[in-house]
Amino acid sequence: LEHTRREFSSESKMPLNQAATSDPQRVWLQLANGRKLAITDEGDGSSGVVIAMHGSPGSVRDFRYLGAHLERAGVRVVRIDFPG
């Protein structure tokens, strides 16, 4: 796999100690087996894509602090909300 590195100006960096959060609206998908699965999708993807999967117990909100920083860095963040 090819790894790319993107440089950022100091203005585009968000200090990790800031309490910026990202909590996008969930989109519901109907699976072939009849179950429903919720996902969120944010960011433009110019710096790559991250698929975030939570543990149990958990939800897509587990990534609300990380999502804000990744989105600001141009990363597309797709969070999967597993049932349970």
The tens digit of pLDDT for each residue in 28-72 reads 999 999 988 899 999 999 999 999 998 888 888 888 888 888 988
For the chain, what is the largest distance between any 2 Cα atoms, rounded to a whole number of angstroms?
48
Q: What pLDDT does 30 receive?
A: 92
| 2 to 36, 48, 64: CA distances (angstroms) | 34, 11, 27
Q: What pLDDT does 13 receive?
A: 55
More confidently predicted of 17 and 71:
71
The model carries a pTM of: 0.69
- Contact call for residues 54 and 63 (beta carbons, < 8 A): yes
More confidently predicted of 80 and 20:
80
pLDDT over threshold 70, residue 15: no
